Amino acid sequence: MSNDIETGAPKPLTATDLHHWLQEASPPLLVDVREHSELAIAPFPSPVLHLPLSESEQWMAELETKLAGVEALVVICHAGVRSWHFGCWLLSRDPHRSVWNLSGGIDAWSVTVDPRVPRY
């Protein structure tokens, strides 16, 4: 799968589809752009690369190293808006990168996949 290079936007991905993808042999890298306080309330139940947007100056220089060799990544936030913007930004830097956005964010995950993840 690839992104629509013309729009430069990440592909939408439902929580249910992500849940199934995480069960496969080659799951995507999950990039969570929420703040530390949000992760404390509702951590994603799979390993994530945590890149809080408010701290971008701290991780920006190492971003390409952190993403080196990644075939597919899914960006996550609370409702899917911040992650969508981050996904667009990633694609503006590399339009051939495979980027998906968790539609509805961790909130959708809580509602449709795992109600043990607190909603906030």
Q: Which of 1-10, 83-92, 96-105 shows the lowest mean pLDDT across its residues? A: 1-10
CB 8 within 8 A of CB 87: no
What are the start-end ranges of the H helices in the chain?
15-22, 36-41, 56-59, 63-67, 81-93, 105-112
pTM (2 decimals)? 0.92
Assign a CATH topology to domain 11-112. Oxidized Rhodanese; domain 1 (3.40.250)
52 phi and psi angles, rounded to 5 deg: -60, 130
State pLDDT tens for residues 89-110.
999 999 999 999 999 999 999 9
Strands 99-102 and 73-76, bridge-based pairing? parallel
Model pLDDT, residue 6:
56
Crossing angle between the packed helical segments 105-112 and 15-22, to the nearest 10 degrees: 80
